[in-house]
Amino acid sequence: MVNLSMHIIGTGAAVPKRVITNEDITKVGDTSDEWITSRTGIKERRMLSGEALQDLAKDAAREALDAANIAAADLDLIIVATFTPTNFTPNTACYLKSTMGAGKAVAFDINSACSGFAYSLWVAQSIMAVHGYKNALIIGADALSIVTNWDDRSTFVLFGDGAGAAVLCGEDEASRGEILASTVHNFDDEGHSLFVTGINNGTPFYKPGTSEKSIVTMDGKTVFRFATVVCVDIMRELAEKAKVTLDEVSYFVLHQANGRIIDHVAGKLKLPIERFFKNVDKYGNTSAASVPIALHQMMQECRPKTGELVMLAAFGGGLTAGGAVFRV
């Protein structure tokens, strides 16, 4: 059986309890609430302090499954997008499968940095279509606080931790949430503008230096330029593929990396900024979790009506980018 239509039928989100305000961040290094707010729009973010990221992923997953009215046992597929997993093995998707009772699901993680949720949607759609799977759970979960370079003020102000989830249904008869188009793209990061080195614990024969710690390095200006260009391209591509105009889209949910990037994109496309959902002020850049957390919050707060269009767009390390458009 091949599923031709795919639907988003439930969303969920979970963030750590601990709120880290800009005031808290000023105690780490030479920065200010005024600089962070005016350059990024971020006022606070959440950071793990005792919780495990995989348990946040589970909380987000439970909420999405409840909203979709689907039991974990009915899931055919679980994909978690993360590059900061609690454990490398078992991976986060396997952890969810075994602890949520998703007995028959195929489960695996992917890493596409901040574009991870868009990639997980695209991969899930493809697998569901080929194998005739009915129900999939896709999750974006990241804890960039654990790979932050706390000596680099241009990046330590930006990141937060969290998880967001969505349930995809491949049943032709599902009437809500039909995905009209999705896309992903890769670009060579020749200038190493966004980098998180892998782990290197050393061996009895070689001790890595401190500079080899697994931390974020970013050329903010280059990533900013990439983000504004690629988001515009992706949004135009999605509209064309879905045979809709951007004017017809009620809500745009972009990667919440920096409020100014979202403002730029809205300005370039001459679209009203009110249609761009923003929660970067509360959560900062939560990487793969950013789009699904924002999507969930947008669905709860804005309550789009049946038939309205929602567009998602993300960009991140790799360099990667992707998005989707669906009809509520």
Give me the residues that bind ligand ACO (CB under 6 A), please.
31, 35, 39-40, 113-114, 153-154, 157, 194, 220-221, 223-224, 227, 257-258, 261, 285, 287, 316-317
Residues 1 and 129: their CA atoms lie apart, in Å, by 8
Q: Nearest distance from residue 145's CB to ligand ACO, in Å? A: 12
CA dihedral sign of residues 272, 276, 277, 279: negative
Structure tokens at 328: 């509520």
Specify the 3-state DSSP secondary structure of 276.
strand
Query: Considering 7, 22, 94, 114, which one is annotated as catalytic?
Result: 114
> Positive or negative, the Cα torsion across 91, 96, 101, 105?
negative
Pairing of strands 249-254, 309-316: parallel
Query: Between 3 and 145, whose beta carbon lies closer to ligand ACO?
Result: 145
Active site residue: 135, 169, 285, 296, which one? 285
Whole-angstrom distance, CA of residue 232 vs CA of residue 321:
11
Q: Where are the beta strands (DSSP E) in 63-203?
A: 77-81, 106-110, 135-143, 161-169, 178-186, 194-196
Nearer to ligand ACO, 35 or 108 (CB): 35
* Shortest distance (Å) from residue 315 CB to ligand ACO: 7
How many other C-beta atoms can be found within 10 angstroms of the C-beta atom of residue 43?
17
Q: What's phi and psi for 21, nearest 5 deg?
A: -85, 170
- Closest CB 147 distance from ligand ACO, rounded Å: 9
Q: How far is the CB of 219 from ligand ACO (least distance, A)?
A: 8
* Pure H helices in the chain: 22-26, 33-40, 53-68, 92-100, 116-131, 153-156, 220-242, 259-268, 280-283, 290-302
User: Considering the complex, what minimum distance in angstroms separates the CB of residue 22 from ligand ACO?
Assistant: 10
Phi/psi at 116 (nearest 5 deg)? Answer: -55, -40
Q: Which is nearer to ligand ACO, 31 or 197 (CB)?
A: 31
Instruction: Select 54 or 287, whichever has its Cβ closest to ligand ACO.
Output: 287
255 is catalytic: yes
Q: Among residues 67 and 231, whose Cβ is nearest to ligand ACO?
A: 231
- 125/258 with CB nearer ligand ACO: 258
String of DSSP letters for 33-50: HHHHHHHH---EEE--SS
Tokens 């639907």 belong to: 7
285 is annotated as an active-site residue: yes
The question of whether 302 is a catalytic residue gets the answer no
Q: How far is the CB of 223 from ligand ACO (least distance, A)?
A: 4
Residues marked active site are found at 114, 255, 285
